[in-house]
């Protein structure tokens, strides 16, 4: 039977590093775009700016979920160790 080892503390440390990186990156804030003449280009720039924030929010939520899954995994491995320990 093969064996492997997981360090719950290492998973928690990785989760905290990811959480710190996520918190350091704030959601983009777009200033009002100036009128720079070319209507098609200006419309494209506005559409891009309007689409970035929802995409950012979705990715940030996914990133937060990775952090939560790492913490849940650490808890599960720790509980498995406790359940398997001789009493």
Only one residue has tokens 């320990």, namely 85
pLDDT attached to residue 48: 86
* DSSP 8-class letter at 8: H
**Taking the model in full, what pTM does it have?**
0.72
Q: What whole-number distance in Å separates Cα of residue 22 and Cα of residue 17? A: 9
Query: pLDDT band at residue 51, thresholds of 50, 70 and 90?
Result: confident
pLDDT score, position 1:
66
């Amino acid at each position: 039977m093969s064996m492997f080892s997981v360090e719950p503390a290492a998973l928690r440390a990785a989760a905290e590093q990811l959480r710190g990186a996520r918190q350091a990156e704030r959601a983009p804030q777009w200033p009002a775009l100036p009128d720079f003449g070319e209507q098609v280009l200006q419309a494209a720039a506005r559409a891009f700016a309007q689409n970035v924030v929802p995409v950012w929010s979705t990715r940030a939520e996914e990133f937060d979920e990775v952090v939560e899954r790492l913490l849940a995994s650490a808890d599960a491995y720790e509980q498995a160790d406790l359940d398997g320990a001789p009493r």
